[in-house]
Amino acid sequence: MPTSTDRMTSAALIAMKQRGERIVCLTCYDAAFCRVLERAGVDVLLVGDSLGMVVQGQATTVPVTLEHMVYHSACVSRARERALLIADLPFLSYASGGRALDAAARLMGEGGAAMVKLEGGAELAGTVRRLTRFGVPVCAHLGLLPQSVHRLGGYRYQGRDAAGAARIRADALALQEAGAALLVLECVPAELAAALAAELAIPVIGIGAGNRCDGQVLVLYDILGLTPGRPPRFSKDFMAGRGNITEAVAAYAAEVRAGVFPGPEHTLA
């Protein structure tokens, strides 16, 4: 685990993967939670467009705008000291290479992000190349793509058959070759995620993808038991039995680093 004085970078994450150290990531949307998460030892802060659902009360992430993302990224950035800050490119903000560059410029320049994340496969390889050519580090996102929920017909596990798994693998290799520095795999079978983590040179961060990825990410509000209704199968309430938020986040970080979380009950085999 890096010391509190080490500034996390994409190169540092690759070094952690090579050493077999699991990467701890959580979503974060404001300065107050940023301080808590860093105090608890979180490596990566993701300003996710999930804020549309957990902060704004939207039904999906689709209504989230670039203005929203810049605002929340800047809030987190002002308090950040060590963790790597990644911000989501919102729905349709990267529909062309030019739009992606403009959006990334705002997220990094105004929002203080050190990396941007986009959802999609090999069809975005050209966009990833263009972003990285101009100095923008990119995190790719495969499997369940929340911005595509209307096309997918709901929040469903992906890659469950041979053809789907092959598509995800091909997409992952194409995005890595295009220059992606990190990959989030959401809601895919554990065996597929483990195989990709072993094959790819870049770190693979799982969410609902088993515990053999290089790291894990969850929505902060889920681990604090704040999600209304039925929580996602792949999540866990770390506030249960603990006295404060810092203890809950530290417990999450410890279980990720020890390979305890996610357990079989959080995983699709």
Instruction: Return the CATH number at 16.
Output: 3.20.20.60
Contacts of 7 (CB under 8 A, 6+ apart): 82
Residue 117 lies inside a defined structural domain of this protein: yes
Residues of the domain holding 183: 10-266
Q: Does 186 participate in catalysis according to the annotation?
A: yes
How far is Cα 183 from Cα 176, in angstroms, rounded to an integer?
8
Residue 61 lies inside a defined structural domain of this protein: yes
State the pairing for strand pair 138-143/115-119: parallel
Torsion sign, CA atoms 191, 192, 194, 198: positive
Residue 5 lies inside a defined structural domain of this protein: no
Residue 63 lies inside a defined structural domain of this protein: yes
Bridge partners (DSSP) listed for residue 23: 215
**What global pTM score does this model have?**
0.94
> Is the bond preceding residue 262 a cis peptide, omega within 30 degrees?
yes
The CB density around residue 195, as the number of other CB atoms within 10 Å, is 15
Domain count across the chain: 1
Q: What are phi and psi of 117, to 5 degrees?
A: -120, 140
Q: Do 128 and 179 form a contact (C-beta atoms < 8 A)?
A: yes
Residue 137 lies inside a defined structural domain of this protein: yes
Q: Which residue is catalytic, options 38, 119, 186, 255?
A: 186
How far is Cα 253 from Cα 140, in angstroms, rounded to an integer?
22
Torsion sign, CA atoms 122, 203, 168, 29: negative
Q: Do 150 and 117 form a contact (C-beta atoms < 8 A)?
A: no
For the chain (length 269 residues), average pLDDT per consecutive 10? Answer: 70 97 98 97 97 95 97 98 98 96 98 98 98 98 88 78 97 98 97 98 97 97 90 91 95 97 84
Residue 208 lies inside a defined structural domain of this protein: yes
Q: What pLDDT score does 8 carry? A: 96
- Token pair belonging to 224: 């604090």
Q: What pLDDT score does 1 carry? A: 46
Residue with tokens 């770390």: 238
The secondary structure of 119-152 as a DSSP string is: E--GGGHHHHHHHHHTT--EEEEEES-GGGHHHH
Residue 240 lies inside a defined structural domain of this protein: yes
Q: What pLDDT score does 265 carry? A: 87
Residue 55 lies inside a defined structural domain of this protein: yes
